[in-house]
A = this chain, B = another copy of it.
Amino acid sequence: MAKEKMVTAITSMKEDFAQWYTDVVKKAELIDYSSIRGCMILRPNGYAIWENIRNELDRRFKATGVENVYMPMFIPESLLQKEKDHVEGFAPEVAWVTHGGGEKLQERMCVRPTSETLFCDLYSNIVQSYRDLPKLYNQWCSVVRWEKTTRPFLRSMEFLWQEGHTAHATAEEAEERTIQMLNVYADFCEQVLAIPMIKGKKTDKEKFAGAHSTYTIEALMHDGKALQSGTSHNFGDGFAQAFGIQYTDKENKLQYVHQTSWGMSTRIIGAVIMVHGDDSGLVLPPRIAPTQVMVIPIAQKKPGVLEKASELKERLSAVCRAGLDDSDKTPGWKFSEYEMRGIPVRVEIGPKDIEAGQCILARRDTGEKITVALDSIEDEVTRLLDTIQADMLARAAAHRDKHTYTAKSMEELGRIANETPGFIKAMWCGDEECENKIKEEYSVTSRCMPFEQEEIDDKCVCCGKKAKTMVYWGKAY
Contacts and interface: CB of A to CB of B under 8 A. Distances in A.
Interface of A: 32, 34-36, 39-44, 47-48, 50-51, 67-76, 79, 92-102, 109, 111, 118, 121-122, 125-126, 137, 141-142, 144, 146-148, 158, 160
Nearest to A72: B39
Given A36-B72, A92-B101, A95-B100, 19 more contacts: A34-B71, A34-B72, A39-B74, A41-B72, A42-B70, A47-B67, A47-B70, A48-B68, A50-B70, A73-B111, A73-B144, A92-B102, A93-B101, A94-B100, A95-B97, A95-B101, A96-B98, A97-B97, A100-B146
Contacts of A95: 74, 97, 99-101
A154 B158 CA distance: 28
Q: Please provide the 4 A-B residue pairs with the shortest distance between their CB atoms, ordered closest to farther.
A: A101-B146, A39-B72, A44-B67, A42-B70
A48 B68 CA distance: 7
A172 to B, nearest CB: 23
Contact of A76 (B36, B50, B70, B160): B36
Count of this chain's copies in the oligomeric assembly: 2
Nearest to A78: B35
A381 B44 CA distance: 40
Contacts of A111: 73, 97, 111
B44 A122 contact: no
Contacts of A47: 67-70
Nearest to A118: B34
B32 A125 contact: yes
Contact of A48 (B43, B67, B75, B93): B67
17 contacts: A32-B125, A34-B71, A34-B122, A35-B79, A36-B76, A41-B72, A44-B67, A44-B68, A47-B67, A47-B68, A73-B144, A74-B95, A92-B102, A95-B100, A96-B98, A97-B111, A101-B146
A46 to B, nearest CB: 8
Contacts of A118: 34-35, 41
B121 A35 contact: yes
B92 A96 contact: no
Nearest to A39: B72
Nearest to A76: B35
Contact of A137 (B44, B102, B144, B147): B44
Contact of A70 (B98, B102, B121, B160): B160
A216 to B, nearest CB: 25
